[in-house]
Homo-oligomer: A and B are copies of this chain.
Amino acid sequence: MNSGEVYKSFLTPLSFIERSASVYPSKTAIVHGTKRYTYREFGERVNRFASALRQNGLAKGDRVAVLLPNIPPMLEAHFAVLLAGGMIVPINTRLSPGEVEYILNHSGASYLFCDTELSSMVKPHHANLPALKLTINVADAPGFETLPGIDYEEFLDHGSPAPLPWVIADEDESIAINYTSGTTGRPKGVVFSHRGAYLNAIGEGIETQLTPDSVYLWTLPMFHCNGWCFTWGVTAMGGTHVCLRKFEPGAVWPLVEKEKVTHFNGAPVVLISLLNDPSRPLKLTRPLTITTAGAPPSPTLIENVSAMGAKIIHVYGLTETYGPTTVCAPQPGWEGESPAERARLMARQGVAYVVSEAIRVVDEQMNDVPKDGQTLGEVVMTGNIVMKGYYDDPESTATAFRGGYFHSGDVAVWHPGGYIELRDRSKDVIISGGENISSIEVEQVIYRHPAVLECAVIGVPHEKWGESPKAFVTVKPGMALAEKELIEFCRANIAHFKCPSAIEFIDLPKTSTGKIQKFVLREREWKGREKFIQG
């Protein structure tokens, strides 16, 4: 609420910054290198930002694109754009200039906040963006070119630090468009509401146990699903944000120590790089909660993180579910299990968040699959923390919501205890001689080999069986591994028909968010054949 306004009881992330700026004015809200902002300063900068947007003609519902690394202006934008009445459009900083152009045009962004280091991603088409009215350059790092426009700090100087009245008429109004990176096809714009963002931010706080004492390190890109809503969630609790302009494993551990970090998030590939970095501590001296999502973590990874003394929380979701929406909630009995068995259980994607309500695994007729840990089905969701739809794309929205539920495209089994476990993306299931093989199951076996750093398994053409599994493996630095040895290792651990028929040692291709791009491998193996169409 804002003083002087008639009060409406909206669920909105705006209440988070308003409360924390009021309750914790002198507490550190944001750390960025040697720079520190208190919550009063954070709140005032948000107010300046929002009022400057309005002064510059922002109308309700206007799209405001942000092409920024994990720096304070990106956090500020997550509140200021909403406060002004606009919709934030965070852009993945690792996209190509053509993809950035597509998103700016598709969203029809009127304002663009661009880090000068990233200006070259916009420069080639900057003059050809018909909807764009104003570009604001964020000069966080020195020595880069600016785009025609004005400087961010000057822009803020035009605004007022005084509170602004909210312009919300309904808590279901749209506040953000997150374009999914999409391995094929054009990116789709996932639309969030005030209510959904509020509830998921609270939900992240509950599941990862954020408190006012939490110090959250930004290893996860904020452009990724609004930093899985932790931009809002950490602010809700009055915790401290520690920015990280550029993720490098060697930069993380010293910051964890220096800023007394209590929480960070990352995909399994990020955790693997952190665990293999020479700067990593063998044993942590303070509590640290690492939340992982984005791909199923191997039991080996979970075991290694736990051995270091960190608490690992495994969550699962998609951009379409505001980020994580299930958690592998530990059961009382798990404490007594061996570390390996516990890690195997912790690798499950788990159960619905307290705030998420309805997650199911269904067959093609939308019937629940049996909870037998074996039958494959698709994960579908509905509830408050499922997107409103894809921006300006009613067809894709209707397809995604067929049968009344959002279809994740993820294939899973449902365990007897109600925990789901991903087996694959629909398109990653390998069908060999009529048998379904989960590529993830094969990958998890390969990860147990001590010489393996990373791997990906796909189906490749096979004369007799149609498809057979092939593994692509990166070996740990300084270690050696032979194809035959690894195949033998697999045969000792899973059914022979599931074992790779071939292994190739390579550097794995990855998306801009660090996900392994199986479609690149598949494209190569299936060149000119039908399977590629599914890519």
Q: Which of B1, B368, B417 contacts A383 (CB 8 A)?
A: B1
Interface code A396-408, partner B: CB below 8 Å = 1, 0 otherwise?
Answer: 0000000011000
Distance A236 CA – B418 CA, assembled complex (angstroms) = 17
A377 on interface, CB distance cutoff 8 Å:
no
Q: Which residues of B contact A1 (CB under 8 A)?
A: 357-358, 382-383
* Cross-chain contact B383 with A19 (CB below 8 angstroms): no
* Shortest Cβ distance from A354 into B: residue: B236
Interface code A351-391, partner B: CB below 8 Å = 1, 0 otherwise?
Answer: 11011011000000000100000000000001110000000
Among listed A24-32, A146-154, A278-286, A502-510, interface-contacting one? A24-32
Q: Which of B211, B238, B331, B384 contacts A9 (CB 8 A)?
A: B384
Q: Which residues of B contact A6 (CB under 8 A)?
A: 404
* Cross-chain contact A212 with B329 (CB below 8 angstroms): yes
A160 on interface, CB distance cutoff 8 Å:
no
Among listed A178-186, A201-209, A300-308, A445-453, interface-contacting one? A201-209
Interface residues in A171-206 by Cβ distance below 8 A to B read 202, 205-206
* Cross-chain contact B331 with A368 (CB below 8 angstroms): no
Interface residues in A117-175 by Cβ distance below 8 A to B read none
CB distance from A416 to the nearest CB of B (A): 10
Interface residues in A1-16 by Cβ distance below 8 A to B read 1, 3, 6-7, 9, 11, 15-16
* Cross-chain contact A7 with B358 (CB below 8 angstroms): yes
- Would A206 and B417 be within 8 Å (CB), given that A7-B358, A27-B332 are in contact? no
Interface code A13-49, partner B: CB below 8 Å = 1, 0 otherwise?
Answer: 0011001001111110000000000000000000000
CB distance from A175 to the nearest CB of B (A): 17
**Identical chains in the assembly:** 2
* Shortest Cβ distance from A196 into B: residue: B9
Q: Which residues of B contact A11 (CB under 8 A)?
A: 384
Q: Which residues of B contact A295 (CB under 8 A)?
A: none
- For chain A, the count of residues having a C-beta within 8 Å of the partner chain is 43
Q: Which residues of B contact A331 (CB under 8 A)?
A: 24, 26-27
Distance A384 CA – B237 CA, assembled complex (angstroms) = 18
* Cross-chain contact A383 with B237 (CB below 8 angstroms): no
Distance A206 CA – B206 CA, assembled complex (angstroms) = 7
Q: Which of B202, B238, B383 contacts A329 (CB 8 A)?
A: B238
Distance A357 CA – B166 CA, assembled complex (angstroms) = 14
- Would A417 and B9 be within 8 Å (CB), given that A236-B354, A237-B354, A354-B19 are in contact? no
Distance A404 CA – B6 CA, assembled complex (angstroms) = 8
Interface residues in A458-473 by Cβ distance below 8 A to B read none
* Cross-chain contact A9 with B357 (CB below 8 angstroms): yes
Distance A11 CA – B26 CA, assembled complex (angstroms) = 34
* Shortest Cβ distance from A236 into B: residue: B354
Q: Which of B205, B330, B384, B405 contacts A206 (CB 8 A)?
A: B205
* Cross-chain contact A22 with B382 (CB below 8 angstroms): no
Q: Which residues of B contact A26 (CB under 8 A)?
A: 331-333
A-B contact pairs, 25 of them (CB 8 A): A1-B357, A1-B383, A7-B358, A7-B383, A9-B357, A16-B354, A19-B351, A19-B352, A19-B354, A19-B357, A23-B352, A23-B418, A24-B331, A25-B417, A25-B418, A26-B332, A27-B331, A27-B332, A202-B202, A202-B355, A205-B206, A209-B211, A212-B329, A236-B354, A237-B354
